């Protein structure tokens, strides 16, 4: 009544103004209610997946904010995440050894009980990184001079040259003298082969001989069946 008397509004106009004010109030209330802050649930740490990878029977306690390196660490310790090498020769416990990825020759020797006293480890690179399925031979020459020629003949070749090796020579364990028993390999080329072995941490494949200075395609074709990593 006060607004009607003050502003001189008719009842119909006053009712219309009241409706507009109510609608505006409802709209404003709805807008502020929908824009209110809401609580967000923090995702639970994935404990079961990491526990399954690690092979543990009890839950693994993870920090509130696990680092990205947590999962790769668990995968590295999972069953099957290892390499298998054959350690033979003059060690205390020769045989198959299972080691973590990235292990070196020194780790394989420790797993085999260590090197026997008096064993010759010349040419054995203990710092070389191992690969799955390779063989580490300790204190045994990688090759022996041929004692007989083909078809039961006497030692030596028909041309009077030196005889080739009986078994493939290990590029990772051979001495310069053993490498010089290979066809076309002299002291200089044997030195290049050993220098490459030292600089690159050993040979992982026979194909790496192509990268040695002085070995072309023809020489590589001759040496490939006579050597091994």
For residue 219, the enclosing domain spans: 176-224
Tell me whether residue 88 is in a domain: yes
Edge to edge, what strands does the sheet with 83-89 contain?
95-99, 83-89, 135-138
**The model scores a pTM over 0.85:** no
Tell me whether residue 37 is in a domain: no
pLDDT tens track of the chain, all 229 residues? 666 566 666 677 777 878 888 888 887 778 777 776 777 666 665 544 444 444 444 444 544 444 444 444 444 444 458 899 989 888 899 889 999 999 999 999 999 999 988 888 887 888 889 988 888 888 765 433 333 333 333 344 433 444 445 578 899 998 999 999 998 898 999 999 999 999 998 999 989 988 998 898 888 988 989 999 8
Tell me whether residue 119 is in a domain: yes
Reading phi first (left if > 0) and then psi (alpha if -120 to 50, else beta), residue 72 is in alpha
DSSP 121-169: -TT--TTPBP-TT-EEEESS-S--B-SB-GGG-BSS-TTS-PPPBSSPE
Tell me whether residue 114 is in a domain: yes
Burial of 164 (0-12, 13-18, 19+ CB in 10 A): middle
- Best CA proximity match to 47, nearest among 66, 65, 60: 60
Tell me whether residue 150 is in a domain: no
Tell me whether residue 193 is in a domain: yes
Report the domain count for the chain. Answer: 2
């Amino acid at each position: 009544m006060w607004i009607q008397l003050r502003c001189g509004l008719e009842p119909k106009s006053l009712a219309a103004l009241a409706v507009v004010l109510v609608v505006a109030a409802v709209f404003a209330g709805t807008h502020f209610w929908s824009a209110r802050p809401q609580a967000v649930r923090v995702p639970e740490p994935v404990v079961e997946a990491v526990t399954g990878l690690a092979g543990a029977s009890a839950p693994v306690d993870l920090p509130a904010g696990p680092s990205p390196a947590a999962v790769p660490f668990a995968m590295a310790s999972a069953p099957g995440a290892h390499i298998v090498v054959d350690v033979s020769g003059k060690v205390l416990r020769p045989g198959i050894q299972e080691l973590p990825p990235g292990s070196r020759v020194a780790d394989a020797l420790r797993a085999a009980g260590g090197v026997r006293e008096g064993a010759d480890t010349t040419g054995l690179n203990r710092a070389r990184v191992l690969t799955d399925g390779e063989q580490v031979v300790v204190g045994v020459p990688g090759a022996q001079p041929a004692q007989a020629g083909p078809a039961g003949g006497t030692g030596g070749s028909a041309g009077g040259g030196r005889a080739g090796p009986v078994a493939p020579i290990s590029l990772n364990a051979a001495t310069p003298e053993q490498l010089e028993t290979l066809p076309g390999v002299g002291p200089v080329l044997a030195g290049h082969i050993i220098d490459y072995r030292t600089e690159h941490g050993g040979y992982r494949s026979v194909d790496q001989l192509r990268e040695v200075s002085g070995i072309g395609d023809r020489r590589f074709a001759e040496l490939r069946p006579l050597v091994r990593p």
